[in-house]
Amino acid sequence: MTFRSVKLTREGGVATLTITSKKGALGPAFWEDMARVLTDLDGARVLIVRGEELFSAGLDVTASAASIAPALGDPEKFRAVVDDMHAAIEGLAALPIPVIAAVHGWCIGAGLELIAACDLRVCSADARFRLPEVRLGITADLGGLQRLPRVIGHGRAAHLALTAEPIDAPTAERWGLVTEVLDTPDALFARAQQLALHLAGLPARALEGTKRILNDDLPHARSLADAVQWNALHMTAEGLASALKT
């Protein structure tokens, strides 16, 4: 399968999605490619999402203007314009496999909302993160305002979204946006691959259930009951016996 703005490669059970558009800009081609990528992951145990020259400069406003401009002032038309974007990011979040974002360079706007939908986020020391929408007269509408408070807390998410100021890699790690900072992009990609191979070696059903419960955003008692039900349906005698030996 060929794509216009991304590249999908595989090594064993690890799939890697590389954003190949100029400066990682997310335009119509990217959202169309994502719809196809999400249906082309059979057999993958883990997905890494990364950029090429940098992670992402955000939404490709120039390429998207032709569809956005006629929809301004009409909520129904505007919703139709962003449907493909929502489908891509929500589809990424809904994958039953772990998704690792490996961020180097700038990660801006829609790119930041994209990584908020990933399960694990690591970056290199040159990474910078920014949600600049308010400076452009826009309210971020691709899931960042919903997910970031869960990832880094309401106050820090509000700081990012309301000030539109960038944060650097050490700040992102301190806030919990990323869990590790590597010295160089090469070290970052090697670490992402190492994490992915580790995850690929773990029981797939256990990973799927853990991801589902972490992300379900349900009341405590309901989420706890769902975890018990998942184990009742998917835990195996062989797995239990193996666990008892370790």
Per-residue pLDDT tens digits for 210-240: 999 999 989 999 999 999 999 999 987 666 6
- What are the residues facing 58 on neighbouring strands? 25
> What confidence tens digit (pLDDT) does each residue in 24-69 have?
999 999 999 999 999 999 999 999 999 999 999 999 988 888 888 8
Ranking 135-139, 186-190, 195-199 by mean pLDDT, the lowest is 135-139
Position 243 pLDDT exceeds 70: no
Contact 134, 164 (CB under 8 A): yes
**pTM metric for this prediction:** 0.94
Average pLDDT, the chain: 94
Q: What is the mean pLDDT of residues 93-114?
A: 98
pLDDT at 246 over 90: no
What burial letters (b/e) apply to 125-160, b meaning 16+ CB within 10 Å? ebbbbbbbbeeeeeebbbbbbebbbebbeeebbebb
State the pLDDT at residue 65.
81
The DSSP secondary-structure symbol of 139 reads -
Provide the pLDDT for residue 235. Answer: 84
113 an active-site residue? yes
Look at residue 81 in the predicted model and tell me its pLDDT. Answer: 84
CA distance 26 to 115: 13
**Which residues, 6+ apart, have CB-to-CB distance to 82 below 8 Å?**
141, 142
Which of the pair, 120 or 244, is modelled with greater confidence?
A: 120
Report pLDDT digits (tens) over 160-177.
999 999 999 999 999 999
- Asked if residue 18 lies in contact with residue 10, where contact means CB atoms within 8 angstroms, the answer is no
Q: Interhelix angle for 28-37 vs 61-68, to 10°?
A: 90
Which residues make beta-bridge pairs with 103? 123
Confidence class for position 244, pLDDT limits 50, 70, 90: low
238 is catalytic: no
Length of the chain: 246
Which one is catalytic: 11, 76, 90, 133? 133
**One of 32, 90, 113, 180 is an active-site residue; which one?**
113
Please answer whether residues 27 and 58 qualify as being in contact, where contact means their C-beta atoms are separated by less than 8 angstroms: no
Q: With 0-12 CB in 10 A as exposed, 13-18 as middle and 19+ as buried, what is 113?
A: buried
Query: Region 192-208: what's the mean pLDDT?
Result: 97
- pLDDT value for 206: 95
